[in-house]
Amino acid sequence: MPRLLILDWDPHYRSYVLESCLALGIEAHLVMREAPAALPAGAARVHVLPGLYDDPLQWVDELARYVNLQGLTGVFTHEDELVELSAALSDELGFPGATLTAVRLCMDKSATRDRFTAAGIPGPRYRVATSLDEARRALDELTLPVVLKPVAASGGQGVTRLTDASALARAWDWAVEPYGYLPAVYHRVIIEEFLEGPLVSVEAAVVDGDVHVITATDGLQTIEPVGPTQSRFVYDALLVPTRLPAEDYEAMAHWTREAITALGIQTGIVHTEFKRTPRGVRIVEVNPRLPGVYIPELVHRALGIDLAGAALQLAVGQSPDLTEKHHGAACARLLLAPASGRVHAVEGSDEAAAAPHVVRACFFVAPGDTVAPPHEGNIEVRLGYVLTTDTDPHGALRAADEALARMTVRIDNPATAQAAP
């Protein structure tokens, strides 16, 4: 039986990882910051490492000893903050996976941009800054609006759109804020032209250097204003497959293959983000890991391809089945806080779950919890979600919108309280 070390696991967003372990007969050993109340279904053991995210590379030797003691045969993570640790362990132990060199190229957005420029892969114009003064000089060479973001943070942390140079100092502060968990080599900010157009990600599997493009996901975003000259990006929904025309999909598939080759990724699942601009598709970034939130489940439900299972199999040296079993669509619609305050009541999840085409509808918050809208709080915080399926992406999105409209979060804050969404 394959035995796999899994660096962290999230029961809210990543339950499908252990479900795939069970289905594939893979023995899962979880490494988590704190012990769960009960051993999760599908996990053989939990190794508690409270400082897992505190300079993750310091744990290579300890985890290598654990792997050898338990006789494990692979390492896997779905967390951006831990992909470097996973790659270092794989290199140390001779396990399958993206190399540490390739992972570091992906983590460092400036190094990625440099590699793509050399390979002729289309992306935004950009500059890199290590100080506010350098950022000011970069603005002189770019055209507003621009996007500021840390070179190695994830999940939209520290990312802002800037439309007026007078607000640069505030945007700079946001961009450097996520540095806490990053090594000093990544303490830089990338400043790049803002790309107009929808965000789409391409999900691919790399098997012994051969890139298999599986599908593309529409990432619906809201640009939340945080002042007259700045905005932050927030995901509202994820939709598989993309609604873009076939020629756009083929262009993104082509540049995905070129990008993965340029970065030297030989094994694993790769999540590549694009913008479809008026000038054509432009690459945003490459992530050498399983895509986030519910995308693997959406791919599974829409196409019958177990993307999480494929990632796990590649991590233990097996060849995954990437054959499309059927062709439908799936959507995850995310519920965000409409105002800041304390939750008074949550209503409508049963009604939403009973709506047509709904697979699941649930809240993550309960009365008494304190919440804030994305532009005031943590942009990764969601209050709940609905997941739908249909025969086409437009139908799946429409069903998700209708179901989410039945869910309400009532917030105790007389000045701004309102229903969500």
User: pLDDT tens digits, residue range 87-120?
Assistant: 999 999 999 999 999 999 999 999 999 999 999 9
Higher pLDDT pick, 417 / 401: 401
| Cβ atoms of residues 181 and 157 within 8 Å | no
Is the pLDDT at 286 greater than 60? The verdict is: yes
pLDDT tens for residues 176-199? 887 666 677 788 999 999 999 999
Residue 375's pLDDT is 63
pLDDT tens for residues 218-266? 999 877 777 777 777 788 999 999 999 999 999 999 999 999 999 999 9
Residue 372's pLDDT is 85
Is residue 228 exposed (0-12), middle (13-18) or buried (19+ Cβ within 10 Å)? Answer: exposed
Cα 409 to chain centroid, rounded: 25
Cα 376 to chain centroid, rounded: 21
Rounded to whole angstroms, the Cα distance separating 342 from 323 reads 47
Beta bridge partners of 272: 202, 286
Q: Specify the range with the lowest mean pLDDT, choosing from 24-38, 222-236, 300-314.
A: 222-236
Residue 419's pLDDT is 39
Residue where the block lists tokens 């300890």: 62
Which percentage of the chain shows pLDDT scores above 70? Answer: 94
Confidence of residue 72 (pLDDT cuts 50, 70, 90): very high
Residues 322-339, mean pLDDT to the nearest whole number: 94
